Amino acid sequence: MTTHFDINLHGGFWHVEGALNENARLGELFGAEPPVRLNLARVKTTNSLGIKIFVRFMEGMGKTELEFHECSYVMLELFNSFPAALGQPTQPKRVKSFYLPFACAAGGHQFAVLYTTAQIEKDGEAAVGPRPCQKCKKEATLEGRLDDYMTFLSHDP
């Protein structure tokens, strides 16, 4: 299990990587030039201390222009279960894009597909219809219900 935590700025994005835990040094982002864009694709795990640190970080950021990009599944789950992790509601919304899990019935292969919040808000269920499996090319479908992945929308009005 990964326990390391890293943040690196490149290409205008703060890439957060590893485990969101007691080692999460998010304080480095205070004073960063807004908009603060976080790429969360490589956050693999969270624990309760890491979540507390993240919520405190978002409180500290206040109304700073801040965006979440390419949220991994664990980060999407965090935003869905802990509204405070989104900080103060802002317009436009902070969660810009995220990965949703797909699986094929034929081979049991699982893979993640990147979606933008704008695309889901525009097309709804039609955006997450069946697609070819990345491994066997047979039909793969979204695991679970779209609505369950999108509860963060009501926290971030």
Shortest Cβ 149–Zn ion spacing (Å)? 21
Is 104 a binder of Zn ion (CB under 5 A)?
yes
Site residues (CB under 5 A) for Zn ion, limited to 112-141: 133, 135-136
Q: Which is nearer to Zn ion, 60 or 129 (CB)?
A: 129
The residue within the footprint of Zn ion, chosen from 107, 124, 132, 144 (CB under 5 A), is 107
Q: What are phi and psi of 80, to 5 degrees?
A: -75, -35
Using CB under 5 A, count the residues that bind Zn ion.
6
Closest approach of Cβ 127 to Zn ion, in Å? 21
Question: What is the nearest approach in angstroms of Zn ion to the Cβ of residue 110?
Answer: 9
Task: Rule CB under 5 A: say whether 89 interacts with Zn ion.
Answer: no
How many separate helices (H) and strands (E) can be counted in the chain?
Answer: 5, 8
Q: Show the CA angle centred on residue 31, arms to residues 4 and 89, nearest 5°.
A: 85
Report the nearest approach of Zn ion to the CB of residue 112 (Å).
14
The nearer residue to Zn ion, 107 or 130, going by C-beta atoms, is 107
The four Cα atoms 55, 59, 63, 64 give a dihedral, to 10 degrees, of -70
Closest distance between Zn ion and the C-beta of residue 89, in Å? 39
Please give the Cα distance from 103 to 22 (Å, whole number).
Answer: 33
Adjacent-strand bridge partners of 46: 20
Interaction residues for Zn ion, span 51-70 (CB under 5 A): none
Closest CA to 41 of 19, 11, 72, 10: 72
Q: What is the DSSP string of 34-71?
A: SSEEEEEEEEEEE-HHHHHHHHHHHHHHTT--EEEESB
**Closer CB to Zn ion, 78 or 133, in the complex:** 133
The footprint of Zn ion (CB under 5 A) covers 104, 107, 109, 133, 135-136
